[in-house]
Amino acid sequence: MSSIKKLLVIGYVWPEPNSSAAGQYMLTLLKSFLSQNYQITFACAASESVHRYPFEQLGIQKAQIKLNCPSFDDFVVDLAPDVVLFDRFMIEEQFGWRVAKHCPNAMRILDLEDLWSLRHIRMLAYKQQRPLQAQDYLQDIVLRELAAIWRCDLSLVISHYEMDLLINQFNLPPHILAYLPFVLDSAQLTQFKQQSKHFAQRANFVFIGNFKHEPNWDAVLYLKQHIWPLISKQIKDAELHIYGAYPAKKVTDLHNPKQRFLVKGWADDAHQVVGNARVCMAPLRFGAGLKGKLFEAMQLGTPSVTTNVGIEGYFESEIVNAGKPNIYWPGAIADGAEEIANKAVELYNNQVLWQAAQDKAWVLLEHFRASKFLPEFCIRVEAIQQDLVAHRAQNIIGAMLQHHTMKSTQYMAQWIAAKNA
């Protein structure tokens, strides 16, 4: 048996696997490290919610930490982790310099989830009704996220598109990036296939998504104002059910039984509500990363209607550049309200088309088997730890950014701590 190593995870929030794909992804990472005999401590400065995953049941220790507080220095020195995993780039900015200073030999991993900055600049461009421009990539938030990637020993990328963007547009070295998408193990895939309901057993449309996530709110508003009126005219007995964690009043105010537009809010069992629906609607107009709602729909054999933004990241560039995602997508892809509505109606009413879409879901999910990714990820982490000095020597830009960031961020944090004293 290998010797026990220590992993410190510093969370942006406490993981909520039932609220978001990010929470599910974090749980996958934690279980992967547990399988490699790591002793794990999950630390977070955020307040706990009722939906937090009880990872203590897995033997993971919990720690509450503070922002801009030297108490973290004593905490990390006492813990002496072998690996530190930062949950999002803002956490690396806040705590990365402290880890580098007090635990210089600890491997630093950045869990990007999606590229936060890409989602942000796309949202701004969308609201300004214009395409992305070259200067958008020079915005402060983009440069901050790229700097955090450079400073870390390895960054986890979940999307094919974002992997290509980081390497080919931003010239990040591949040896500090790891493609690690959402994954399923063989037992899960078999179970989902066996339990998936058939066409005649299902009814209604469903949307599900965390409402702290701006693209989800925009998609629901798009459904309400432009898409659902077109669908409801053609299918008189179907309802659209809107589920998701943390719906604000502006979301619940959209609830209208007469229009069969039903805002349900938190789903006690997301698999049940998506698995009972005949079609999953995801008309996303901006965003980044892999869309967890679509991955979940695939698992449950629920065909989906989404946009080109929605399917982004699921296919390699060769398929995208050849215009072939429509061939392989388990449902339909469209970008205008009328086309989205028409394809949703056709998929809802046509059992042959619907069954073909469900069959495509099982084929596409084969590309996300855990056995294709997690063992390789564990091997890379081990290899980098074994030769960390040489690994970092290949990343002189990261070392330079780490040097200057330690100084500037350290002084800012010390100023804030002194101010708060």
- The reply to whether 340 falls in a domain is yes
- 87 sits in which H/E element: strand 83-87
Domain count, the chain: 2
Over the stretch 79-122, which tens digit does the pLDDT of each residue have?
999 999 999 999 999 999 999 999 999 999 999 989 999 999 99
Q: Please, which pLDDT band fits residue 324 given cuts at 50, 70 and 90?
A: confident
* 350 and 207 within one domain: yes
pLDDT in the model for residue 1:
40
Closest CA to 275 of 377, 202, 324: 202
**In CATH, what number is assigned to the domain containing residue 234?**
3.40.50.2000
- Residue 323's region, left for phi above 0, alpha for psi from -120 to 50, else beta, is left
78 has a pLDDT exceeding 50: yes
Give the DSSP letter of residue 135. G
Over the stretch 206-228, which tens digit does the pLDDT of each residue have?
999 999 899 999 999 999 999 99
- The reply to whether 315 falls in a domain is yes
* 173 and 190 within one domain: no
User: Distance between CA atoms of 420 and 104, rounded to whole angstroms?
Assistant: 27
Average pLDDT of the segment spanning 167-179: 96
Place of tokens 């009722």: 50
- Number of other residues whose CB lies within 10 A of the CB of residue 327: 9
User: Distance between CA atoms of 339 and 174, rounded to whole angstroms?
Assistant: 39
Closest CA to 243 of 206, 204, 293: 206
- The reply to whether 420 falls in a domain is no
409 has a pLDDT exceeding 70: no
pTM, to two decimals: 0.92
298 is in which domain, residue-wise? 186-368
- The reply to whether 421 falls in a domain is no
* 59 and 160 within one domain: yes
